[in-house]
Amino acid sequence: MYRLLFIFMSVVMLTSCASTSTNNSSAMAPAERQHGDEQLRLAESYYNDNQLEKALALYQQLAKQGHPRAQGELGLIYDLGALDVKEDNALALYWYKEAAKQNDPQSMVNLASFYREGEFVDKNIDTAVSYYQQAINQQFAMANCELGYLYLDEPNYQDLHKAERYFLAGAESTQVSCYLGLAYLYDFEVNDQIKAFQWYKLAADSDSAIAQYNIALKYLNGTGIDKNPKLGHQYLAIAVEQNYPLAVGYLAQIYDFGWGVAENKLAAVELYHKAAELGDADSQVNLGLLYEEGELVPEDINTALQLYTLAAEQGNAIALNNIAAIYLRGDKVERDLDIALPLFYQAAALGSPNALTNLGTMSRLGNGVEQDDKQSFLYYKEAADLGFTPAYFQLGQSYHLGTGTEKNDELALSYLLASTEYDESAAFYIGIIYSKSPSVTPDFDKAISYFEKAYELGRQDAASYLGWIYEIKSPAHHDIDKAVYWYQQGLSNSYSCMRLARLYLQGKGVPQNIDKGLALYHEYAKIKKYDIDELIGNLYFFGEVVDQDYQKALFHYEKAVANNQSQAANNLGEMYRLGHGVAKDIDKAISLYQASTEWGSVVSMANLGEIYLNGEGVEVDRELGISWLTKAAERGQNDAQYLLGQGLITNQQQAAGEQWIKKSAEAGNKKAIQYLTEHQ
């Protein structure tokens, strides 16, 4: 809504109003009316002298005698709880109606507000319109403004032409509220900024603080008028002098963020305090944040919560989100999900993108709510649709990883590109998409650019990807010196350690240095939490990076086996099975394979199956062989699936055997593929 709907008169009772006439039998005679008006002025003087009991008694007396203005004022007293009386809607409604029967236009307007808001009575917009019309018929100009606002912002009754007509009628009687109504109409509905400025200017020059604030914004932003910061600040200062909360709060932000002026944080804090005391919700939030973080003021979580609560009571979604976040984190107060969750949901219902994003992250991590990737995605999507940049990254990441939705790198790219200034990980994922995505055309120049940006923003693992592109991925960009440089920048990442280790071991792009290469393998093992002896044993066993050396492999494998490392046990078993670097010893091989299976190796199961099925150094035991192969095959080992298939076929179990061979072929096993090709 554009303004408060309750347009009751000030608590300082105004006795001058349009003359009224009535056919009601309780109407006062002219002489009584004249005497009543004098008594009404006396009641007002009692009020001004703070003689509240005398003022109330006189208003009650005059109202009971049938004076319409006294009845209307008495209704207002009960409506607002003025003159130290308890607020009483029933009595307010009664006296407004009594006054309205005698055509008191102000009471008609107040009754209309009751029915428009549904306060103490059933909401009835038609009845509200009727009372406004009756007041207008009494030449009560302000009623034009109120009816104009009804047609401007009542959802099911909005009629901009009627709103404009009633505002113009009130404006002819110099009603400042109607000036403002026309300004709002042209500003927010018609988008005629020139006309909006003109009506704001009329209202501002009529001493309306609201208009002075709005005209200040027009001058400062150059909307509807040439930009003029000097005039903007002048109007803002006038509104601040009138203690208009939004103006005070905006001036605080000007000094806080240095908008067109030198930053002055101390002045900003002082103004935030003033605006917060005046009830500006945004200032209550901004000041609350300062107290929460201990910035410019002593850290005080209780004061922060008090300020946030004041703003939340006004429906401020940011305040609701901030309170919820405090109780969710539980670092400065005791964690309390019973407080946090309802506030997050309330803020989200008000369209807070912060709350929606927080709920998305909570759902993704299962933090305080049930883990739900799909719900997380929906929260991020809703926040992103509101234009919230932090949610762009989360949504882009969801599309890229296929978390809570189908993987879609094209959509991921669009959101990530819009969030690179917010999150270094956005640039990182863009680099991955341009370099690795199967659905986006590779662009290694862009990938390099975004990986470099991610690295500059603190994403260390981007260096590993840059090394990977220069060393391996893009022949057009192959540059071993750059690869080495970037691997060196990314040594906190295991991949950089491993690749640079291999380069030193092989002497590619750097002088060969076995000791340095092995030292980097030690770092790699430490990062990955791998057994270093198993890793180095593998280097010498396979001989792909260093010269094959079974004796060194044996040395490291024996140390790794002592630490229950399954791959080391399997490979050492292979050495004894085949006699590589050691005397052939099938019993020792079997013992090592069995230990390896106990430590989780599926390959060792396949090796044991093959030994017993073929009788390698032992008697053939097809049943035991098939048993080991079945265990390995069921765990997805494709060599075992092929061997099991062959074994079953040999046992005259053709269908079952071919089924396992098909599974092996589907996993890419070349022997299985060849078999199926030959037996089609």
pLDDT band at 26; cut points 50, 70, 90: low
| pLDDT confidence of residue 290 | 97
What's the chain's average pLDDT? 93
Is the predicted pLDDT of residue 308 greater than 80, yes or no?
Answer: yes
What Rg value do the Cα atoms of the chain yield, rounded? Answer: 40
pLDDT of residue 543: 95
Number of residues in the chain: 680
Q: Average pLDDT for residues 550-576, to the nearest whole number?
A: 97
What are the pLDDT digits (tens) for 192-203? 999 999 999 999
Percent of the chain with pLDDT over 90: 92
State residue 668's pLDDT score: 95
CA–centroid distance for 122 within its chain: 38
* d(C-alpha 498, C-alpha 494), whole Å: 6
Burial 508-530 (b: 16+ CB within 10 A, else e): ebbeeeeebbbebbebbbebeeb
- Of 23-37, 103-117, 650-664, the poorest mean pLDDT is in 23-37
Euclidean distance between the first and the last CA atom of the chain, given in angstroms as a whole number: 76
Asked if residue 101 has pLDDT above 60, the reply is: yes
Quote the pLDDT of residue 25. 35
Give 141-192 pLDDT, tens digit per residue: 999 999 999 999 999 999 999 999 999 999 999 999 999 999 999 999 999 9
* 375 in Cβ contact with 363 (< 8 Å): yes
Q: Is 236 exposed, middle or buried (0-12, 13-18, 19+ CB in 10 A)?
A: buried
How distant is the alpha carbon of residue 269 from its chain centre? Answer: 27
Query: What is the reported pLDDT for 32?
Result: 80
- pLDDT value, residue 431: 97
Identify how many contiguous H helices and E strands the chain contains and give both numbers. Answer: 37, 0
Round to whole Å and give the CA distance between 659 and 642: 10
Q: Where are the alpha helices (DSSP H) in 65-137?
A: 68-80, 89-101, 105-117, 125-137
Q: Where in the chain is the domain with CATH 1.25.40.10?
A: 373-598, 602-680
Contacts of residue 533, defined as CB under 8 A and 6 or more positions apart, other chains included, come to 556, 557, 559, 560, 563, 565, 568
Q: Distance between CA atoms of 217 and 223, rounded to whole angstroms?
A: 8
Question: Which one, of 140, 154, 217, 208, lies nearest residue 176 by Cα?
Answer: 208
CATH of 373-598 given 1.10.150.120, 3.60.150.10, 1.25.40.10, 3.40.50.150: 1.25.40.10
Nearest partner of 215 among 191, 196, 243, judged by Cα: 196
Other Cβ atoms less than 10 A from the Cβ of 133: the count is 15
pLDDT in tens, 459-504: 999 999 999 999 999 999 999 999 999 999 999 999 999 999 999 9
User: What is the dihedral sign for C-alpha 655, 660, 663, 668?
Assistant: negative
**Res. 368: pLDDT tops 60:** yes
CATH no. of 602-680: 1.25.40.10
pTM score, whole prediction: 0.77
- Going from the C-alpha of 176 to that of each of 9, 141, 173, 581, the distances in angstroms are 14, 11, 9, 100
Which position has the token pair 């490392």? 565
